[in-house]
Homo-oligomer: A and B are copies of this chain.
Amino acid sequence: MTKFWGIGVGPGDSELLTVKAVQTIKKLDVLYTPQAHKGGASVAEKIAAPYLPDDLEIKRRHFPMVRDWEVKRKSWKEIADEIATDVQSGKEVGFLTLGDPSVYSTYSYLVELLEGKIEVETLAGISAFSQIAASLSVPLMLDEESLEVVPATIDADKLGQIIDVNDNVVIMKIAVDFRKIYQILKIRKLLDSTVVVERASMDGQVVKTMSEYSEDAELPYFATALMKRGDSYATS
């Protein structure tokens, strides 16, 4: 029985794929990847490029980034149907996701649509927030501490509450709503306690504290913040 494999490729560095991800990619017949905005290879595909066999059939498919759920669902359904057909015809089929497939990934919707139809196996990847902590050699959490991970699109009041009760907060893809996040941290005097990593483990990685930005700064799409209460990164 062949399967549909959801493969996490990690945050950027091709060496951050797991051994299992690399071995799985090598036995695939077909690989689905999200299509990049300008056509061509997506970030996930570029990360996995060193491991893609020459004879692997690559199907780049467009995942619309729009607010309209019906539009998105329709595209996902078409792609899921195509994947199901490929697996049912005896092919090993893969799908690449940036970071970890379990962390804010469209892959989860594909799985939902494929459930009960074909066998699915998910291979964990290094998430952006895990890589940020590693690149700084700081813990995400220790002892009795907790960690909360939130998306940048979270409601401002809710984000404030979460920051107030947690020692460690990761905010993903902060460029999407940077001003809001900056202001919430500034009011709480936490700009120096929040570190931002742009393009973690990719070419052009940048590490700064939140206090080194202005509130109207324009950040790249891949930028994640880690707030650690009590820690100051200001001198590093």
Contacts and interface: CB of A to CB of B under 8 A. Distances in A.
Given A10-B18, A16-B18, A19-B15, A120 B137 contact: yes
B122 A124 contact: no
Interface stretch (A58-66, A127-135, A190-198): A127-135
Interface string A96-112: 00001111110010010
Interface string A137-149: 1111111111111
Taking each of A103, A125, A137, A142, which has the highest tally of chain B beta carbons within 10 Å of its own beta carbon?
A137
Contacts of A147: 103, 148-149
Given A18-B15, A134-B102, A146 B162 contact: yes
A103 B137 CA distance: 11
Contacts of A105: 139, 142
Interface residues of A, number: 54
B108 A18 contact: no
Contacts of A122: 133-135, 137
User: How many copies of this chain sit in the oligomeric assembly?
Assistant: 2
A176 to B, nearest CB: 12
Given A18-B10, A20-B16, A108 B142 contact: yes
Interface in A132-169: 133-135, 137-151, 153-155, 162, 166
A10 B19 CA distance: 11
Given A108-B142, A162-B146, A133 B13 contact: no
B142 A104 contact: yes
A6 interface: yes
A15 to B, nearest CB: 4
B141 A149 contact: yes
Given A124-B134, A130-B124, A103 B141 contact: yes
Given A10-B18, A104-B139, 5 more contacts: A16-B124, A105-B142, A108-B138, A122-B133, A125-B126
